[in-house]
Amino acid sequence: MSNNPERLSFISGIGRSASGRRLGRTAMDLTLEAALEAIEDAGLKREDIDGIATYPGGDAIASRGFGGPSGQQVQDALRLDLNYIYGSGEGAAQLGAMIEATMAIASGLAKHVLVFRTVTESTMQGMKGRNPGQGMQAASGFMEFLAPFGAISATNWFAQVAQLHMHKYGTTREQLAQIALTCRTNAGANPRAVYRDPLTMDDYLNARMISTPLCLLDCDVPVDGSTAVVISHVDYAKDAPKIPVHVNAVGSAQYGRPSWDQYEDMTSMMAQGVAKQMWSRTDLKPADVDVAELYDGFSIITLAWIEALGFCAQGEGGAFIEGGQRIARTGDLPINTHGGQLSEGRLHGFGHVYEAAAQLRGEAGERQIPDAEVIVAANGGGPIAGAMLLTRGISS
Amino acid sequence: MSLDLDILTVRIPPQDNPECEFFWQSGADGKLRFKCCQDCGYFSHPPTPRCPKCLSTKVAPEAVSGKGTVLSFTVNVQQWIPGQAPYMIALVTMDEQPDLRLTALLVGVALDSAPGDVIGSRVETRFLSRDGIYYPTFVPEGSPA
């Protein structure tokens, strides 16, 4: 298994723009800030970058801040010649862009790929409001059989997953709360987090409902910000200035129906296949994982990832996180050490990878997990999923 | 007294789509229809031009009982649209096939019902007609017509 192609690449540089609520800056402005920081962090010059990959390769204005600039727009803004470019909202969730980059490197198409994800959802909500159906004249695509029935928000879709999980397995709101409480505690040690004030169980239980059983504190906080990484060929590792963050294994599988309401086991999600594939590509086991940076667009997604990745059995996630000790920074499986999207802000998946890399390099400051060597980063929820197993240094 | 099915302040209609037109028109005669394979009998949703099971092109809309069992649900409370009262959305497994599911509004169930009383409960389909679209809507089985 040591010759999996993804092992030919490593994260050589990480960068991020300012992030926060309603910054009022353009998506390109934020993207260039993050990209140039990542390139410098990798010890490279911009002309060394010969590949770009992004998620979702969209349009910041038309998508209400969900999509950042396209890869070509960034290529042009930096006047780059590229051997490879990729941008898609499909693929293995947000991480699909990083997995594509590893494969471009493994196949020899590119040597240094800039991968970025930019959101300006907070500023756009300030300009255009929060109604996800606003401006939608008619529902098409996957929304055709959701929006006409009032299921216009992702909160509604994930709420039904949480409701069924609770009903079938006895998971409680108090258990689910531990995702939000843990993230908030961790955010207290992250100067860049949006919400850093301590949160109590009472705060959680008294928070207003959004879509039962999910309350406001189960939902992530939209922000503006851009995150970038440079993924390079391992040949460069000996010259790179920072501790290499190696890609040990990736998971991109999509098993079962890619649907918000037609997936066979509605207590779970596409994460299951991704985890199965990722573990099949490595000798490492769930017990070897020091830290888990698990997507938390909604708290229930993190719970589903904990189960899918095999940290506990399907349905036992509630008991696994009960009390919060196990997933705290001092616990057996620290999660979302930066505060996650629930408290740091919704950098949409890439924030988890940035944090994973910072932890593996020992650059996470007050929230550093001692001797973190193996970290899993997982992105996506519902029908969208991707995962990467990252290690400190280049493994043989 | 019959149930008021018109509970959304703003109803986002489906986009014109020849593949799915039958679905949104089906309620004209009070019946819910899904695509059904004329060769293997498999119902599918959302509609596609071939049977996803046997790949036959002989798929046609076929009426179902409209009855089913609630698999999961949520009460939407957030006012995405100002003034919108809370409402219940349910994911229902139709009687005809274990993997034939439809998400729709569920009307006529107390919004503060215990989840265990809603999940697993029996429902049937009614239709709300608006602007030429017949929106299937679930109600508890045996609700007044």
Q: What are the 10-residue block averages of pLDDT along chain B, 145 residues in total? A: 91 94 98 98 97 98 98 97 95 98 98 98 98 97 93
Minimal-distance CA residue of chain A relative to B105:
A149
The SS3 of residue A20 is: strand
Average pLDDT, integer, range A221-234: 98
Chain-centroid distance of CA A122 in Å reads 18
DSSP annotation of A115 reads E
Q: Is residue A310 packed enough to be buried (19+ CB in 10 Å), middle (13-18) or exposed (0-12)?
A: middle
In this complex, do B75 and A209 lie within 8 Å of one another by their Cβ atoms? yes
Judge contact between A395 and A246, C-beta under 8 A: yes
With CA atoms as reference, report the closest residue to A331 among A373, A290, A374.
A290
In this complex, do B80 and A161 lie within 8 Å of one another by their Cβ atoms? no
Greatest Cα pair distance in chain B: 48
**Can you give the residue ranges of every domain in chain B?**
21-140
> What distance in Å separates the CA atoms of residue A186 and residue A330, rounded to the nearest whole number?
11
Strand A374-379 and strand A291-294: pairing?
Answer: parallel
- CB-based contact, B16 to chain A, within 8 Å: yes
* Ranges assigned E (strand) in chain B: 32-37, 43-44, 59-64, 68-76, 87-94, 101-105, 122-130, 133-140
Residue numbers in B near A146 (CB within 8 A):
103
Picking from A133, A160, A209, the nearest residue to B77 by CB comes out as A209
With CA atoms as reference, report the closest residue to A122 among A226, A224, A16, A19.
A224
Is the pLDDT confidence value at A383 over 80? Answer: yes
Judge contact between A232 and A42, C-beta under 8 A: yes
Q: Identity (one letter) of the amino acid at A16?
A: R
- CB-based contact, B20 to chain A, within 8 Å: yes
Picking from B8, B99, B119, the nearest residue to A150 by CB comes out as B8
Which class does domain B21-140 fall in?
mainly beta
pLDDT given at position A111:
98
A-side interface with B, Cβ within 8 Å?
130-133, 136, 138-140, 144-153, 155-156, 159-161, 163-164, 166-167, 208-214, 261-262, 264, 266
Average pLDDT score, chain A: 96
pLDDT in tens, A248-302: 999 999 999 999 999 999 999 999 999 999 999 999 999 999 999 999 999 999 9
Picking from B13, B81, B115, the nearest residue to A163 by CB comes out as B115
Please, what is the angle between helix A271-280 and helix A299-308, to 10°? 40
List domains and CATH numbers for chain A.
5-127+223-236 (3.40.47.10), 154-222+244-392 (3.40.47.10)
> What distance in Å separates the CA atoms of residue A56 and residue A93, rounded to the nearest whole number?
9
In this complex, do B10 and A133 lie within 8 Å of one another by their Cβ atoms? yes
Residue numbers in A near B104 (CB within 8 A):
149
Is the pLDDT confidence value at A346 over 80? Answer: yes
Minimal-distance CA residue of chain A relative to B47:
A145
Cis preceding-peptide flag for A213 (omega within 30 of 0): yes
DSSP annotation of A376 reads E
Average pLDDT, integer, range A333-359: 98
pLDDT given at position A396:
46
Taking only Cα atoms into account, the Rg of chain B, rounded to an integer number of angstroms, comes to 16
- CB-based contact, B30 to chain A, within 8 Å: no
> What distance in Å separates the CA atoms of residue B126 and residue B130, rounded to the nearest whole number?
13
Judge contact between A23 and A261, C-beta under 8 A: no
Q: How much is the ipTM here?
A: 0.97
